[in-house]
Structure 1
């Protein structure tokens, strides 16, 4: 069975201004789909989506009227939201409106740690709990749900949270202990979601756990950074308390800092040492390697001539 009707109606991409959402929008447009890109505010990212050819709508995922405007006329939905204390409210609000309009596919972006959770097992992260509860609510909703659970993103711990240390001190300075991890690129996750939304019928009811190219420890990844950048990069396992203090000084919300701290603790416990072939099954390609990721973002890891 295939679903081909959606070329005539737009696919809603919630969280379109984020890493996954932006790439997903471009991929779906390239396949000939119409895309309605939902953003929180009008800014340069929204304009970039419009330049790609998307219909851009501004709205709040927790606002009922906003979701009616966003979802009406869409047959397929991608639901993604950044780490937020309002995540569960947003999920249920979007799901309620999606059910009202009778969508044919609802792709939910969750987290792979949910795989290790149950009615009796949780983590200290409020965000992990919200993801688990959101999955329960979607299961109860009767919606045609496809669940995507990626592991940690390359773009978060290995770019945004690591670039300054690599650039300024030749250090991969992270509180991840000595255990292994298998980070994945947001681009690869977008490719997986694009494949699902292109023809979702066979994916309804499935859960896809997505991991990266390999699972390795941080000393290994430091050597990969060294090879890709052409200079020696060393891993420094920094104390968690000082790391979270620095995140707060940068102005990150407490809910996000607490979530990142739990992720770091779970890394140190070996909970991110996991590998699947789900991505390959979906897109027929191996995940982006750390080497290729670092080469792609080399400028962000390299001192400028003015500061060298």
Structure 2
């Protein structure tokens, strides 16, 4: 199947080499959808910091899966370009409970992207996902777990972690069903909320490896990330997420997955069993 088409029947997947993008693209292809995979390293190059390539990526596109950039602003211009190119639908990945974040400095880029998409003349859907299960084996929590201790600023307030496979299933379903999800905001979470200590205990048990969880101040966590090579702004942004989580405004599980997919979301235990069997935390 060609990645290029001149008629508007293609779905553009941004961040196509990333955690959600690559999963969404695979699901759409399996459904028989024409997919144009775009990222900084894909054949169709897309870089939020370089608008010169946007129009080429948007040519002949009907729908776009949008993963927002790390800074506020660019999605407004992108949406204007999409409208001019004849795009009809946008599906945006955002964060759980984004309209409850208030004065938090976390997620300004996601809220800016929501404003751009929801204010457009196009058919739009917003998928607001909680923290991914896969952060424990594909992202910044992985290395500390392999070393035996995860130290974060999270305390007794739980998080309704979602399996990223459910996020991808939901995105693919919305993209494949024009009209049905127009103007909807779906809050996507797992079936129940867990504390980070409980999550680490489940991973330890399933993997058979000793692992502990320790709560630390957010400033200490940010400093640790900087020592590991993170830019200071990025480190403080991640630390601010935990400050927001401690407010408890995003701690509740929702029925968003069931609403979109007609089934319950995967459990954290299901994720842990799959990841442990695949050797995710092998030392």
More helix by share: 1
Q: Which of 138, 144, 158 is 1:165 aligned to?
A: 144
Give yes or no for contact 2:68–2:92 (8 Å, CA) kept in 1: no
TM-score normalised according to structure 1 size: 0.82
Q: 2: distance between equivalents of 1:272 and 1:185?
A: 16
**Which of 76, 79, 94 is the equivalent residue of 2:63?**
76
Verify the 8 A CA contact 1:20 1:186 in the aligned structure 2.
yes
Quickly say closer, same or farther: Cα 1:8–1:59, change in 2 above 3 A. Answer: closer
Q: Quote the offset at 1:223 in angstroms.
A: 2.8
Between 223-232 and 196-205, report the one with greater CA deviation.
Answer: 223-232
Work out whether residues 137 and 280 of structure 2, in 8 Å CA contact, stay in contact via their aligned partners in 1. Answer: no
**Alignment of 1:239 onto 2:217:** yes
Asked if the contact 1:180–1:216 (Cα under 8 Å) also holds between the matched residues in 2, the reply is yes
2:117 pairs with one of 122, 130, 138:
138
Gaps of 5+ in 2: 1-6
Partners of 2:80 and 2:264 lie apart in 1 by: 36
Give the Å deviation of 1:231: 4.0
Any unmatched runs of 5+ in structure 1?
1-6, 47-55, 304-308
Deviations 1:62-103 (A, max 9, x none): 433311100110111111135x12x422x1122011110232
2:175 to 189, 193, 197: 197
Structure 1 residues 253-264: aligned runs within 5 Å: 253-264=231-242
Aligned residue among 237, 253, 260 for 1:275: 253
Relative distance call for 1:124 and 1:60 in structure 2 (3 A) is closer
With normalisation by structure 2, the TM-score equals: 0.89
Alignment-derived partner of residue 9 in structure 1: 9
**Superposition deviation, residue 179 in structure 1:** 1.1
The structural deviation recorded for 1:104 is: 1.9
Distance 2:47 2:37 in 1: 12
1:176 and 1:147 map into 2 onto residues whose CA distance is: 27
CA distance in structure 1 between the aligned counterparts of 2:249 and 2:281, rounded to whole angstroms: 27
Check the 8 A contact 2:97/2:187 in 1, yes or no: no
Aligned to 1:301: 281
User: What does 1:220-239 correspond to in 2, within 5 Å?
Assistant: 220-239=198-217
Give the match for residue 124 of structure 1.
105
Q: String of CA shifts for 1:106-128, please: whole Å, max 9, x gaps.
A: 111111241314xxx33122xx2
Using the TM superposition, name which of 102-111 and 286-295 deviates more.
286-295
Q: Does 1:66 align with 2:46?
A: no
Moved over 6 A (4+): none
Q: Over residues 259-295 of structure 1, what are the superposed CA-to-partner deviations in whole Å (9 max), with x where a residue is unaligned?
A: 2111111223323311111112212332232222223
The equivalences for 1:29-40 within 5 A come to 29-40=29-40
The CA RMSD measured in Å over matched residues stands at 2.2
Structure-2 residue corresponding to 1:22: 22
